Chains A and B, each alone.
Chain A
Amino acid sequence: AQSVTQLDSHVSVSEGTPVLLRCNYSSSYSPSLFWYVQHPNKGLQLLLKYTSAATLVKGINGFEAEFKKSETSFHLTKPSAHMSDAAEYFCVVSGGSNYKLTFGKGTLLTVNP
């Protein structure tokens, strides 16, 4: 069994300040972990993925995430927020069956000018 907990349903930052979106997971398998982003009226887009290689994963648009097995965490960060980053972000885990993704409830990121 696997599950994902996104610790914040809503995060608000100012443009140019750092972003931290928190995610904890549980999995019976060695997990693959993903972050997806959903802009209004758009499909889900893959930001980055961890598949047991380097624990620090770099994604698109300046985002990165660090896999910490001891803390069962996979937090998403970005040094400097941009207005275009405003969207909903989903932390996702897959286990033994790669096709079956388990989604967190999402974190809505608001970026203030």
Chain B
Amino acid sequence: NAGVMQNPRHLVRRRGQEARLRCSPMKGHSHVYWYRQLPEEGLKFMVYLQKENIIDESGMPKERFSAEFPKEGPSILRIQQVVRGDSAAYFCASSLDTNTEAFFGQGTRLTVV
């Protein structure tokens, strides 16, 4: 059973471009969470999704950031018109439900140049 798969592992974007980060949860998991880790900081919650629904996006910036978890396919975190401050590691986690362990992926390291 493969773990949580994130791709790409590393992503370089120029300022103003779009970044798309993908997360395939563990098999059977329908709950997905995205976290962001800025340099020298701990991971911070961004958004919690279930299939086709955003449950909690309280940690996600209101502008330029969006997330989806379609019925088929991976969860996508999309950042439009990236800026230098978006450079960070973005981690995805998945779980069976909210009371069981969340398993984390290896993260996508976004660098905006």
- Among A41-49, A55-63, A66-74, the stretch that binds chain B is A41-49
Given contacts A99-B95, A99-B98, A100-B48, contact A42 B42 (CB under 8 A): no
Contacts of B107 in A (CB 8 A): 43
CB closest residue in chain B, given A36: B104
B31 lies within 8 A of chain A by Cβ: yes
- Contact call B3/A105, Cβ cutoff below 8 A: no
Report the separation of the CA atoms of residues A105 and B101 in the bound assembly, to the nearest whole angstrom: 20
- Other-chain residue from A44, A99, A100, A102 in contact with B104 (beta carbon distance below 8 A): A44
User: In this complex, what residue of A is CB-closest to B9?
Assistant: A41
Which B residue's beta carbon lies closest to that of A9? Answer: B40
Count of A interface residues, CB-CB < 8 Å: 20
| Distance between Cα atoms of A42 and B104 in the complex (Å) | 9
Residue on B with the closest CB to A45?
B104
Binding site for A on B (CB under 8 A): 3-4, 31, 33, 35, 40-45, 48, 56, 59, 91, 93, 95, 98-99, 101-107
Q: Give 10 CB contacts A-B under 8 Å.
A: A36-B104, A43-B3, A44-B91, A44-B104, A99-B31, A99-B56, A99-B95, A100-B59, A101-B43, A105-B42
- A residues near B (Cβ < 8 Å) are 4, 36, 41-46, 49, 90, 97-106
Known: A98-B98, A102-B45. 15 other contacts (CB 8 A): A36-B104, A42-B106, A43-B91, A43-B103, A43-B104, A43-B105, A44-B93, A44-B104, A46-B103, A49-B101, A100-B48, A102-B42, A103-B44, A105-B40, A105-B42
